[in-house]
């Protein structure tokens, strides 16, 4: 038993029939090793009874194998799905992901970043909290820590970003609503301090301008990016002298709030007021009615962010190309019937 406790990397290499450097890479969770080789090495580790001293290894490497995933709102199913995509890649690479929820609080975010830096974190994937200043990451950049932004970019920042094509997604959704005969539209949710807000609002406005909707008939209502925000946006819109008949929502959470608020007023999402979300979270397909939404392959974006981070760490660089993910509109029942083939709904109409 004593001899097993003193097993070394050389013992593992001999048992697995590989080189010492290959064993070392497997122990570090490197993604450079083929999966079948890694399995063989891990079996040899178990067979010889080797115990890996990660603390000593961290001292040798000058950083840990921990990657921080700092998310702005894990209560939003979109960001939960994004985190799952990241975690899947890190787990297969033997990396330990540390997930923190900042709840859209830049002060909390700063505390998390400071703590992770003190722990010698190997890299960070961050969806910045609302109100984050570009200088919030300067210290980390100076220290050479690889950082990837997911979903949200900061103005004038050189940090690489993984994000969907927000402008195109919003354009497609708005064009669909106009194509169904709506002439008074709204954009609900989000705030002007978010770059992603301007990207999605830009797509909405371009579609309205291109397809003949006057500025006065395109209502913009800022609000929280949550169900509560959606409820508030709808109440504001329906209080207008000439309320809109359809809305593109900043995200699916806002759309769900809008649909709840419609029902509280005795109105039916779709026939009485068309609703489109953005993100296409899993819940969208199963909502009642099913939500039309801009699909962005959320887990895929998370996986892409994780792969970019691993490559940055292995290449010892803090630079990477931005990735703009493809989008498409998934049409479901929440858009209601084609208004061009029927009279304006009075609140009692049924789905087409």
Based on the fold, state whether residues 246 and 303 are members of the same structural domain: no
The tally of domains found in the chain comes to: 3
Based on the fold, state whether residues 217 and 257 are members of the same structural domain: yes
Mean pLDDT of 22-50: 82
Q: Is residue 87 part of a domain?
A: yes
Q: Is residue 348 part of a domain?
A: no
Based on the fold, state whether residues 134 and 272 are members of the same structural domain: no
Q: Is residue 346 part of a domain?
A: no
**For the segment 155-176, what is each residue's pLDDT rounded down to a tens digit?**
888 899 999 999 999 999 999 9
Bigger pLDDT: 352 vs 136: 136
Based on the fold, state whether residues 210 and 281 are members of the same structural domain: yes
Based on the fold, state whether residues 75 and 22 are members of the same structural domain: no
| pTM: predicted TM-score of the whole model, two decimal places | 0.75
Mean pLDDT of 185-191: 97
Based on the fold, state whether residues 136 and 270 are members of the same structural domain: no
> What pLDDT does residue 4 have?
40
Predicted confidence (pLDDT) at residue 3 exceeds the cutoff of 70:
no
> What pLDDT does residue 52 have?
62
Predicted confidence (pLDDT) at residue 205 exceeds the cutoff of 50:
yes
**For the segment 297-331, what is each residue's pLDDT rounded down to a tens digit?**
999 999 999 999 999 998 889 899 999 999 999 99
* Domain end marker among 29, 52, 75: 52
Average pLDDT in the chain: 88
Based on the fold, state whether residues 289 and 214 are members of the same structural domain: yes
Q: In which band, very low, low, confident or very high, does the pLDDT at 215 lie, cut at 50, 70 and 90? A: very high
Beta bridge partners of 330: 293
Based on the fold, state whether residues 70 and 151 are members of the same structural domain: yes
Contacts of 179 (CB under 8 A, 6+ apart): none
Based on the fold, state whether residues 307 and 253 are members of the same structural domain: no
The span from the CA of 97 to the CA of 128, in Å, is 17
Reported in sequence order, the residue ranges of the chain that DSSP labels E, i.e. its strands, are 66-71, 96-101, 123-126, 147-150, 161-164, 185-188, 218-221, 246-249, 274-279, 292-295, 323-325, 328-330
CATH number at residue 308: 3.40.50.2300
In which element (H, E) is residue 284 found? helix 282-286
Do 309 and 146 contact (CB within 8 A), yes or no?
yes
The span from the CA of 26 to the CA of 284, in Å, is 40
Based on the fold, state whether residues 238 and 314 are members of the same structural domain: no
Q: Is residue 45 part of a domain?
A: yes
In the chain, the percentage of residues whose pLDDT exceeds 70 is 90
Cis peptide before 289, with omega less than 30 degrees from 0? yes
Q: Helix, strand, coil: what percent of the chain each, to 5? A: 45, 15, 35
**For the segment 42-57, what is each residue's pLDDT rounded down to a tens digit?**
898 888 877 665 544 5
> What pLDDT does residue 207 have?
98
Based on the fold, state whether residues 110 and 239 are members of the same structural domain: no
Based on the fold, state whether residues 104 and 32 are members of the same structural domain: no
Q: Is residue 352 part of a domain?
A: no
- Whole domain around residue 6: which residue ranges? 2-52
Q: Is residue 259 part of a domain?
A: yes
Q: Is residue 100 part of a domain?
A: yes
Q: Is residue 350 part of a domain?
A: no
């Amino acid at each position: 038993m004593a001899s097993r406790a003193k097993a070394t990397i050389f013992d593992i290499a001999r048992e697995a029939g590989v080189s010492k450097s290959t064993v070392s890479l497997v122990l570090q969770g490197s993604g450079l090793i083929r999966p079948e080789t890694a399995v063989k090495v891990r079996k040899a580790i178990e067979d010889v009874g080797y115990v890996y001293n990660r603390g000593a290894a961290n001292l040798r490497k000058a950083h840990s194998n921990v990657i921080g995933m700092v998310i702005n709102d894990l209560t939003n199913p979109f960001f939960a799905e994004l985190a799952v995509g990241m975690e899947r890649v890190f787990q297969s690479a033997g990396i330990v992901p540390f997930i923190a929820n900042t709840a859209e609080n830049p002060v909390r975010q700063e505390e998390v970043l400071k703590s992770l830096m003190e722990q010698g974190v190997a890299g960070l994937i961050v969806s910045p909290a609302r109100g984050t200043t570009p200088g919030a990451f300067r210290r980390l950049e100076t220290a050479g820590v690889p950082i990837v932004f997911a979903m949200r970019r900061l103005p004038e920042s050189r940090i690489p970003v993984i994000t969907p094509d927000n402008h195109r997604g919003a354009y497609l959704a708005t064009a669909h609503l106009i194509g169904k005969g709506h002439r008074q539209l709204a954009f609900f949710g989000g705030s002007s301090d978010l770059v992603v807000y301007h990207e999605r609002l830009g797509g909405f406005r371009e579609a309205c301008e291109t397809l003949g909707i006057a500025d006065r008939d395109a209502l913009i209502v800022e609000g929280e990016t949550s169900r509560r925000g959606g409820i508030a946006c709808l109440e504001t819109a329906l209080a207008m002298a000439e309320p809109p008949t359809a809305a593109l929502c900043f995200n699916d959470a806002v759309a769900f709030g809008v649909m709840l608020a419609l029902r509280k007023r005795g109105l039916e999402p779709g026939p009485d007021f068309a609703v489109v979300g953005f993100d296409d979270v899993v819940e969208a397909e199963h909502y009642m009615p099913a939500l039309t939404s801009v699909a962005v392959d959320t887990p895929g974006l998370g996986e892409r962010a994780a792969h970019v981070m691993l490559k940055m760490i292995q290449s010892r660089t803090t630079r990477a190309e931005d990735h703009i993910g493809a989008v498409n509109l998934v049409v479901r029942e929440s858009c209601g019937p084609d208004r061009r083939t029927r009279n304006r709904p009075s609140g009692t109409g049924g789905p087409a």
